[in-house]
């Protein structure tokens, strides 16, 4: 109507977007990535640690989460605690779950 302004007309509607199947496939791919990269490795580590904790016995040399190295002198099955001798005069009591590794025999002598 004006000399410098053109009229704006609405565009016709485009074809409907098909996104149902593609969305399901994308969610399935993300689910598989989540399972194989996050959940499965963590579940494997938890299972290995549970086996390590259940196999602790008297005389094993262990490394705790706090970085202490010692020899197990007493295992309490019902209370979930162990007594660890750091040297001849120092013993500590820690939870079994705080053990991160069982060291090879003779490790304490070589330190």
Q: 48-80, pLDDT tens digit by residue?
A: 999 999 999 999 999 999 999 999 999 988 889
**Residue partners of 85: CB distance under 8 A and separation at least 6:** 70, 71, 72, 73, 91
Which pLDDT belongs to residue 18?
62
User: So where are the chain's domains?
Assistant: 20-55, 57-110
Residue 63 CB-density burial (10 A; 0-12 exposed, 13-18 middle, 19+ buried): middle
Distance separating alpha carbons of residues 1 and 23, to the nearest angstrom: 46
Candidates 2.30.30, 3.30.750, 1.10.1760, 1.10.1660; correct CATH number of 57-110?
A: 2.30.30
Which pLDDT belongs to residue 2?
66
Q: 3-53, pLDDT tens digit by residue?
A: 778 877 777 766 666 667 888 999 999 999 999 999 999 999 999 999 999
List Cα–Cα distances, 17 to 14, 27, 28, in angstroms.
Answer: 9, 18, 20
User: By three-state DSSP, how is residue 109 classified?
Assistant: helix
């Amino acid at each position: 109507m004006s000399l410098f302004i053109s009229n704006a007309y609405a565009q016709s509607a485009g074809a409907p977007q098909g996104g149902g199947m593609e969305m399901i496939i994308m969610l399935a791919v993300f689910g598989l990535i989540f399972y194989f990269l996050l959940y499965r490795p963590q579940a494997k580590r938890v299972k290995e640690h549970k086996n390590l904790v259940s196999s602790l016995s008297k005389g094993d040399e262990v490394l705790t989460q706090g970085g202490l190295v010692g020899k197990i002198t007493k295992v309490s099955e019902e209370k979930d605690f162990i007594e660890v001798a750091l040297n001849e005069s120092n013993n500590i009591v820690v939870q079994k779950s705080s053990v991160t590794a069982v060291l090879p025999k003779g490790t304490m002598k070589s330190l």
